[in-house]
Amino acid sequence: MFDNYSIPQKTYFEIASLGYLAVLYLISFHDPNREKIRSYKLFRYLEVNMLLALIVSVLTYTFAYPELGTPIPVCTILRTMDSIMCVMASRIFAVYLLAYVDTDGRLKPVMRIGNILIGTYLLLMLLNLPFKFILWYAPDGTYLHGSLFVPIVFTSPVYYLTSCISVLLFRMKFLGARERVALSIASFVTLFGVIIQAATDGIVLLSLPFGSVGIFILYFSLETADYHQLIKNNEKLRLAEQDAIKANRAKSDFLANMSHEIRTPLNAVLGMDELILLETEPGKETDPALIGRIREYAGNIRDAGQVLLSVINDILDLSKIESGKMEIKPGPYQLRTLIGDVHTMVRVRAEQKGLSYVQKIDPGVPDRLVGDELRIRQIMINLLNNAVKYTEAGEVEMEISMQDLTDSSLTLCICVRDTGIGIRREDLPRIFGDFQRLDEKNNHRIEGTGLGLSIVKRMIELMYGDISVSSEYGRGSVFTVQIPQEINRAPEEEAPSEDAAAASEANAFTTPDCCYLVVDDNSLNLLVANHFLDGLKGRVETARSGEEALQKMRQEKYDMIFMDHMMPELDGIETYERSRKDPDNLNLDTPVIMMTANALNGMREEYLDRGFTDYISKPVEIEELFKIVRRHLPPEKVQEAIS
């Protein structure tokens, strides 16, 4: 019986596929990646099913011949099992692919239709055993196919594989580049093998060998331990990114709220101070001595408030600090005036703690320099405030000197000494880190974020300077700053004082025929804005809420509306948007100015994108307010002052 028998050539591909698939199975079986990953478990299931299908197919096409003595019922069962295993392999391949591309379960109907097809196919294969209409053996042992063989046997595999490819194309954008390539090649290769076998009526056996090639591609592309570890790492990075985005959003919300809470009362302080300065201008009939004292107090308040505002702006703008994009804007300034302002602000705080505050200035240091006055002022104040904060008795001293003097430049030296608690030697390397609070056990009662020295160091480095610290724990500290500065040799021009500039802007024009509406839930802010606008000789109305503002907009036509953002119930943006949709609003073409304490980077652009005409941040400066009024009023509404 076996004397002249040889294995059919058409099974050579299947035998080769069985060999390398068995090797692949052993490799993947010993793969350290045996965690409960759904795609990995499905891949193992696909491997086993393909191995069994190949074994059944090789047995079928090797021994399912009655002339070899194999009983016809056994031959029929082998042929039937071979067909069923091939169809099941295509189904499991489809399940595996859908596990990759259909993470949200939207494509379940694809599998439902496939399950109906495969259920129908299995039923027909069972009916075929007694009725012999798909495949069977003639009494003489000849193997026969019916006309329904190809439609019944290959409909399910072709449906599964074409559906997989269609789904893959539809969901391609949700996959990574590696997954797109591997799944596409594996799907097309497997489908090609099925189509060739169907087109040749099963004579060319390529469906299982090509399917094995697809499995080979899938394993080394998507199912190795390294790749699964990469996926896990990417998932961790994705979750970490989401956490970072949430934390950044929370930080931004916190900063916006903090900005509003700080700027709102500061707006009232600076606004009332500006009114004092305007009401006590030189030449008005009041007690000169009283006016002098009031103006001195108001000037000190204004200077301190402006410096506080500049510090708040820098601290709130953490994006600049973290990304190193803080800007340095050099310009001419007078060193001794700057030092005098710093002395005024620091001396009061030092005296409140019973400390002596001493300033020493090298008389040879030129007074007129070119540099970023605001940043240098902030550096001095931060260092001195730290010294006062951490000193309970003794004195705080700032000494100003110079090095490397040339005709056009020098190195400005700022030395701040204190007799405070000092810094431990092991803490010195961390002193300039972000949010560093050293020696918390002894310093827990001292307020502060620990950001001040970090800001100072970064600003100094941006000005190509250097800062160093020496300290003896329990005895005090010395901070030494060196910053290159240019010497201002330009002819000195007499510039108008800030008071005169503000008064000049305030008196430059009037708007007696205009009516303004100011919307703010804070009564002090309304008072400040009301008095500022009173200087323009127009009429000013106020609203304490968004609803009240909407009612007034329906009753009267205004020339300009100033809107606060953060108000209870109906905020400024909601009020503005409702007003634009209100058919009874008489102010659809009225300029609406966002006047808010929300002064973070990018807010101006956001408000303008929302449709607001312009934006002014609190604390409001009177000259800036008047510039906006002049900018957005028609020329016929503005009356120039007669000098």
DSSP letter string, 506-548: HTSEE-TT-EEEEE-S-HHHHHHHHHHHHTTT-EEEEESSHHH
In the prediction, which pLDDT does 32 show?
Answer: 58
Q: Where in the chain is the domain with CATH 1.20.1070.10?
A: 9-223
The CATH number fitting domain 9-223, selected from 3.40.50.2000, 3.50.50.60, 1.10.150.20, 1.20.1070.10: 1.20.1070.10
Report the DSSP pairing between strands 143-145 and 368-371: unpaired
Residues 6+ apart with CB under 8 A from 173: none
Q: Where in the chain is the domain with CATH 3.40.50.2300?
A: 498-640
236-268 pLDDT per residue, tens: 888 888 878 776 766 666 566 566 656 666 676
In the prediction, which pLDDT does 104 show?
Answer: 64
Report the DSSP pairing between strands 515-519 and 539-543: parallel
Q: How far apart are CA 165 and CA 159, in angstroms?
A: 10
In the prediction, which pLDDT does 447 show?
Answer: 43
Q: What is the DSSP letter of 620?
A: P
Q: 498-640, what's its fold? A: Rossmann fold (3.40.50)
Q: Where in the chain is the domain with CATH 3.30.565.10?
A: 331-487
Low-confidence ranges of the chain (pLDDT < 70): 1-7, 29-40, 103-107, 247, 249-266, 268, 272, 279, 282-290, 296-297, 300, 303-326, 433-452, 493-507, 599-602, 642-643
In the prediction, which pLDDT does 318 show?
Answer: 53
Output the pTM of the full model. Answer: 0.41
The CATH number fitting domain 331-487, selected from 3.40.50.720, 3.30.565.10, 3.50.50.60, 3.10.450.50: 3.30.565.10
